[in-house]
Structure 1
Amino acid sequence: MGRIWKLGDNINTDVIIPGRYNVTTDRAQLAKYCLCEILPEFAAQVRQGDIIMAGHNFGCGSSREHAPAAIQASGVKAVVARSFARIFYRNAINIGLPVLICEEAVLNSEDGQEAEVDLEQGVITNLTTGQRFQAQPLPPFIARIVEAGGIIEYIRREGTLR
């Protein structure tokens, strides 16, 4: 369960983590500057388990692992969007950040409401309104990568991609 942070369309990787902060891989530093240019309060107010809900083309722009890493390091449980830039989607999966596509959840949720995400079932429940939404669940192979904490941890655990 967590707070919804509602964002619009075309949130690019430079907005998620400005380029001047991409000089570090220190996750605490990345979290500190996540979304700082559009939500200056985000780093101070985000809590473990919060959910980002966004419009179309979330994560467009430069291909940076720093963007999903900053979101994950901030404590966000999942990003739910109307659509994702493909490279962001893959980078998120590769580091173990859950990403779900669910247009209805985004359209029917507001900033500050409470929600929970059942990743296994792909169900998003807006706890403020009581509405439930069915996202496109992650394919089983992708779900295993996310559950493991990303592609590197998956390979460490499994010894191979299967």
Structure 2
Amino acid sequence: MATATATALSLTEVAPAVLALVPAVSRAFRHRSRVAPHRRPALKCHQSRPLTAVAAAAAAAAGDSPSTAVFHGECFVVGDNIDTDQIIPAEHLTLVPSKPDEYRKLGSFAFVGLPTAAYPTPFVAPGEEKSRYAVIIGGANFGCGSSREHAPVALGAAGARAVLAESYARIFFRNSVATGEVYPLELADTGAWKECKTGDVVTVDLANCIMINHTSGKQYKLKPIGDAGPVIEAGGIFAYARKTGMIASKSA
């Protein structure tokens, strides 16, 4: 069990190890294609820096080309040390993401563990399955706590496209990439969560590595997503492995 003081992960640490994540993902996420008809269309991720030799060779074999991802909408703002129990409490971990109805239900419970005194505005409105907030802005050590793939899955199922935080707990970043549910983007600037407010309209531009808060008029720099981008873009580690020929495709 990690704690709120667990070492946070930098994007530059994880990129070379992305392709080694396959054994760590549970069998439940091998069947994410069953959920695909109920999911939003996948967006493309611009490669902000050169790929490693392994990732570049895989991308070339799959015929990948650089593209641009832009996320626009209202943001939901949280603070430091947001743990996985706050993102999705343990009582909801019996839900199976590979079942479409349970996937949607999982999304409806995203962030229900947040204390209402500190966060009076719910991430998902009562009685709804989807959130109005496309982007989540957080502080340091986002996703600390117990290891559960359900945490990024719940956020993705609720409709979030990206999390922007100052740093991440290693397991949350890893699970976000492996499941392909949300882009875990790291802010180069600190203090965005103190300056932005829930409901502000923002644009996240991966090609230019910036987040623009249209409500306040301020801009914030992002660190490049790097080699993790193609994995998230493909829909997760297993989809990426099939796309690049690392494992056999379902039609083979």
For residue 105 of structure 1, the aligned residue among 189, 192, 214 is 192
Q: Which residue of 2 is the match for residue 31 of structure 1?
A: 107
For residue 41 of structure 1, the aligned residue among 122, 125, 148 is 122
CA displacement at 1:127 relative to structure 2: 1.3
Encode CA deviations 1:125-149: one digit per residue, 9 max, x unaligned.
Answer: 111122222110111x211111111
Q: Say whether 1:152 aligns with 2:238.
A: yes
Q: Which residue of 2 is the match for residue 75 of structure 1?
A: 159
Residue correspondence of structure 1 range 5-154 to structure 2 within 5 A: 5-25=76-96, 26-38=102-114, 41-44=122-125, 46-47=131-132, 50-96=134-180, 97-102=182-187, 103-139=190-226, 141-154=227-240
TM-score by length of 2: 0.59
Q: Aligned partners of 2:217, 2:74: CA distance in 1, in Å? A: 14
- Distance verdict in 2 for CA 1:95–1:84, change over 3 Å: same
CA displacement at 1:105 relative to structure 2: 3.5
Q: Aligned partners of 2:89, 2:191: CA distance in 1, in Å? A: 29
Q: Aligned partners of 1:129, 1:149: CA distance in 2, in Å? A: 33
Q: Aligned partners of 1:54, 1:147: CA distance in 2, in Å? A: 22
Q: What SS does the aligned partner of 2:74 have? A: strand
Which residues of structure 2 form unaligned runs of 5+?
A: 1-71, 97-101, 248-252
Q: Aligned partners of 1:43, 1:158: CA distance in 2, in Å? A: 36
Instruction: Name the amino acid aligned to 1:128.
Output: T
Which residues of structure 1 form unaligned runs of 5+?
A: none
Q: Tell which has more relative contact order, 1 or 2 (C-alpha 8 A, sep 6+).
A: 2
Encode CA deviations 1:66-114: one digit per residue, 9 max, x unaligned.
Answer: 0000001110110001111011011011111101111353343222111
TM-score by length of 1: 0.90
Aligned-residue Cα RMSD (Å) equals 1.8
Which of the two has higher C-alpha Rg? 2
Q: Aligned partners of 1:37, 1:12: CA distance in 2, in Å? A: 9
What percentage of aligned pairs have identical amino acids?
38
Q: Aligned partners of 2:90, 2:232: CA distance in 1, in Å? A: 26
Q: Aligned partners of 2:171, 2:113: CA distance in 1, in Å? A: 22
Encode CA deviations 1:45-81: one digit per residue, 9 max, x unaligned.
Answer: 722x611111111100111100000001110110001
- Distance verdict in 2 for CA 1:104–1:10, change over 3 Å: closer
Instruction: Name the amino acid aligned to 1:145.
Output: V
